[in-house]
A and B are shown apart, each in its own frame.
Chain A
Amino acid sequence: MDTCIKVNGLNYSYGKKKALDSLSFEMGQGKCLGILGPNGAGKTTLIRNLMGVIPPAPGVIQTLGFDASTSSEKICELSGYLPEGASVFLNMTLYKYLEFFAKLRGVKHIDKAIMSVIELMDLTEEKNTKMKRFSKGMLQKAKIAAMIVHTPKLLILDEPTDGLDIATTTTLVNYINDFVKAGMTVIICSHLPDVIDRVCTDILFINKGKQIFFGAKEEFLSKGQGSVSSAYQSILDNGGR
């Protein structure tokens, strides 16, 4: 299996505060990685480093075969990244919103691509509805649709289910599972173990910027009582080690 992401000794600091401390892991294509950790663990900083939005030291991160310190624009073109709590342009209709991102991404057959993601996300009836009339769950689906309209190789979702009810969370989890089955590499960042449990094949657990665990989900489950939640709690009870 080809390597999608390779991190080798990643350190990152905000001024004097160390946000990430010696992270090293490797992830193959077509997998789903869950990044777990409490609030302030460094999850979002790690994701921004992977995309090159905040550049790491040269040679430390390879994303989709490109050095994240120098090739951020190329990585961004091939990926879809949904930041935590990102807003939408509420005065746009869903179609116009997706068209905006499709054009930015340089999609060739725009109408076909848009209709395809609208159908995939089950939003056909809302195609021409202004997004200010959307529910929170529909907005989240619209944002994810915008991030996959160019069929990216890598999809990164930062807290995608934050603030959503159980039913909407389940719907989104099913979509993410479908993306992985279709061969897309997905990274999900969450502080909610249940979401990670239902979609991920691999888990990276970080706490206070330090890598506590990286490996297959089954291996992570063995640290608790058979669920990601219990393993998560068990690690935190042991002082995050």
Chain B
Amino acid sequence: MRRFLVLLKKEFVYGATLMKIMAYSFAIGYSILFGFVSRLSEYMFLCILGMMPYIIAMCSAPQIVLSISSDKNERTGEMVLTTGVSLSTYVFSKLLSSIIHTILSVFLFLGIYLPAAGRITGNVLTMNEVLLYIFACIVINIFYCCISLMIRLSGFAHKLIILAFLLIVAAFLVLIFVNSFMAIPLMDQIPKALLWPVLFVYGSICLIVGVKMLTVRDFVAK
């Protein structure tokens, strides 16, 4: 636990790249939300508003892929992993740091733009939506983390197993995005509220299977 917290603190405090991504997400949110507001119908505006947190989460979450990748290329991962830190501690500290950054990015957008948008549209964020966005941030991070592990895994069979898991998560993510953007009545807030936790549990199983297949060798530069 002590090692986990040390790694988490380092990732969180010194993850400068991720902070930049947060800033970019903020800028994207600003330009889309207010750049088009006068040219869109209120219906379209609400659709974009509903989709933006997911888009921001998708933009922020790849920090875990970048972080693991740069650790490998710069051999800092090899330095850290040869201190006796276990692979699961290393991966999960990166994942948690990435999740926190993503949630911060999303709620930075929501906290600043929704009150402003609320004045225009009367849209108010409910607790149900807050929980949905938190679940979404976690699931999207787990999805990227699994991609990163899949790239790293040395065995072809292992890659295929994780890919099979990931395709299902990917299919549901696309469905949710399309639903958010198009406001298709196929899934309203209630099924979505169920879908995110189900994806979270499924994605976590996928991640644990992936981590169990890893070896330090997968994090060592050739």
Interface residues of A (CB under 8 A from B): 48, 51, 53-55, 72-74, 76-77, 79, 81-89, 91-92, 100-101, 103-106, 143, 146
Among B20-28, B73-81, B104-112, the stretch that binds chain A is B73-81
Q: Which residues of A contact B216 (CB under 8 A)?
A: 53-54, 72
Selected contact of A81 from candidates B10, B82, B85, CB within 8 Å: B82
Residue of B nearest to A100 (CB): B10
Q: Which chain B positions have C-beta within 8 A of A55?
A: 215, 217
Q: Nearest Cβ in chain B — how far from A69, in angstroms?
A: 12
Q: List 23 A-B contacts (CB under 8 A).
A: A53-B78, A53-B216, A54-B216, A73-B84, A76-B84, A81-B79, A83-B75, A83-B78, A84-B75, A86-B75, A87-B76, A88-B76, A89-B14, A91-B14, A103-B3, A104-B3, A104-B6, A104-B7, A104-B80, A104-B85, A105-B83, A143-B79, A146-B79
The distance in angstroms between the C-alpha atoms of A48 and B221, with both chains bound, is: 11
List which B60-88 residues lie within 8 A (CB) of chain A: 74-76, 78-86
B3 CB, nearest partner CB in chain A, Å: 6
Return the chain B residue nearest A77 by Cβ: B84
Question: What are the 4 A-B residue pairs with the smallest beta carbon separation, nearest first?
Answer: A87-B74, A77-B84, A86-B75, A76-B84
Q: What residues of A have a CB within 8 angstroms of the CB of B16 in the complex?
A: 91
Q: Which residues of B contact A54 (CB under 8 A)?
A: 215-217, 220
Contact B6 A103, beta carbon cutoff 8 Å: yes
* B37 CB to nearest chain A CB (Å): 38
- For residue B212, which residues in chain A have a CB less than 8 angstroms away from its CB? none
Minimum distance in angstroms from B175 CB to a CB of chain A: 39
Mark contacts of B2-13 with chain A using CB atoms, 8 A cut-off: 1 yes-contact digit, 0 otherwise. 110011001000
Q: A91-B16, A104-B6, A106-B2 are in contact. Are A77 and B83 (CB under 8 A)?
A: yes
Q: A53-B217, A91-B16 are in contact. Are A86 and B10 (CB under 8 A)?
A: no
A53-B81 CB under 8 A given contacts A85-B75, A87-B75? yes
Of the candidates A76, A101, A103, the one whose C-beta lies within 8 Å of that of B2 is A103
**Contact of A86 with B74 in the complex, beta carbons under 8 Å:** yes
Are A100 and B6 within 8 A (Cβ)? yes
Complex: chain B residue closest to A81, CB-CB: B82
What chain A residues lie within 8 Å of B86 (beta carbons)? 73
B87 CB → nearest A CB, Å: 10
Given contacts A87-B75, A104-B85, 6 further A-B contacts (CB under 8 A): A48-B220, A73-B86, A86-B75, A92-B14, A104-B3, A104-B80
* Chain B residues positioned under 8 Å from A88 (CB to CB): 76
Question: Which of chain B's residues 1-49 have a Cβ closer than 8 Å to chain A?
Answer: 2-3, 6-7, 10, 14, 16
CB distance from B2 to the nearest CB of A (A): 7
User: How far in angstroms is the closest Cβ of chain B from A107?
Assistant: 11
Cα–Cα distance between A76 and B84 once the two chains are bound (Å):
5
The answer to whether B84 and A82 touch across the interface, beta carbons within 8 angstroms, is no
Q: Which of B187-222 contact A (CB under 8 A)?
A: 215-217, 220
